[in-house]
Homo-oligomer: A and B are copies of this chain.
Amino acid sequence: MSTVNQAFTVKEQAMKAQKASKLLAILSTEEKNAALNTIADRLEQEYAIILTANEVDLDAGRKQNFDDAFMDRLALTKERIFEFAQGLRDVANLEDPTGIVQSDWELENGIQVEQVTVPLGVIGMIYEARPNVTVDATGLALKSGNAVVLKGGSSAIASNKAIVDIMRTALEDTRIPVEAVQFIDSTDREATKQLFTMKQHIDVLIPRGGESLINTVVENATVPVLETGVGNCHLYIDKEANVDQAINIFINAKTDRPAVCNAVETLIVHKEWLDANQDTLVKAMLEHGIHAHADEYAHSLIPGADEATEEDWANEYLSRDVAVKTVEDVLEAIEHIEIYGTKHSEAIITENDKTANTFLKLIDAAALYHNASTRFTDGGAMGFGAEIGISTQKLHARGPMGLPALTTIKYIMKGTGQTR
């Protein structure tokens, strides 16, 4: 039994989602939470079905010789599926972001104005190989009263389809309409492109994945996009940096999870600090397998370093490689970040608050750190409970996007016959 029906066109699916979104928008918080908990239970009960489907994807992946990191993101276990379910229960426990009166006032003519949060409507989620996004995005969308149209990567299509099938079947026993969750069961790129311009039926597109996926969506979409993405993050070690803090934070930001967007890609270091702490830094880099691509000054001080090219400054390595740039002062560090940064997360290590404030004030980025690791730019770590992605744009939402990013507002204006 499959509730995912391939017989419908993408447009028909988007229209079904839109229709369902109107029913979903007026459900109570309790009704939405109950539905999320029902889905969570069902995913746990049916985990074996998901694992069987996942094997199909893994087999196909092995035949295509995908690399280990890719296969690791694709592979599911019973434990991971139970984590997905727990994630849904955690989202059920978060505050409902809709129906909140953000402000209210009375016009001089007596009209009562309320600015109230409401769901966006239909969210188009376009993502790559991680099947967890299928569950996470659905949970966040439904909790915030939105329908969701899911278009996952082709390498995870069997796993995603099994997951969606279980979620939709579970919805039959809840107040949320089954059609509020749509899955584009196609590996055809044209199917994805149709989503890009369906402004009448889809309210926002959220691409999650590599730079190429995100750029394709941004360049082709007429539907508004919440851009997530690339983090070419910098750590600046000032001449007045505490040595232990600087080393610890650098190692953490570079090596804790090198493949994520909040990992540091370029170390900017004050020449005086480098001169004084060369040995400590080099030892730490060696111990943690970090390979440097260094400018001329640093190159002579870091054994085994490559010479940095222009490409290194812009590169998001997503590995244990790091570009190393030396500077004379904080302004030179800021200038470098303004040229090569992607406005994601930027950190300064210094004991001098004035220097820190210059950095925090002048740099334009989603998150700016003083004496802490860039790794905290994350919905979970920042206390948002869950995140649908990390926005690297400035409109609507910036940085980690929790439930409020999936809402908009409407003005309710109550009068007694007022005219203008």
Contacts and interface: CB of A to CB of B under 8 A. Distances in A.
Contact of A415 (B251, B364, B370): B370
B412 A408 contact: no
Contact of A395 (B26, B107, B226, B399): B226
B362 A394 contact: no
Interface residues of A, number: 66
B395 A224 contact: yes
Contacts of A371: 414-418
B222 A219 contact: yes
B256 A373 contact: no
Contacts of A381: 107, 420
A368 B367 CA distance: 36
A376 B256 contact: no
Interface stretch (A153-161, A241-249, A305-313): A241-249
Contacts of A252: 419-420
Interface string A224-266: 1110000000000000001011001101110010000000000
A420 to B, nearest CB: 4
A69 interface: no
A393 interface: yes
Contacts of A113: 382-383
Given A253-B419, A373-B419, 9 more contacts: A118-B364, A120-B395, A204-B394, A368-B412, A371-B415, A372-B414, A376-B413, A395-B396, A399-B411
9 contacts: A113-B383, A120-B395, A249-B417, A371-B418, A373-B418, A373-B419, A373-B420, A375-B419, A398-B408
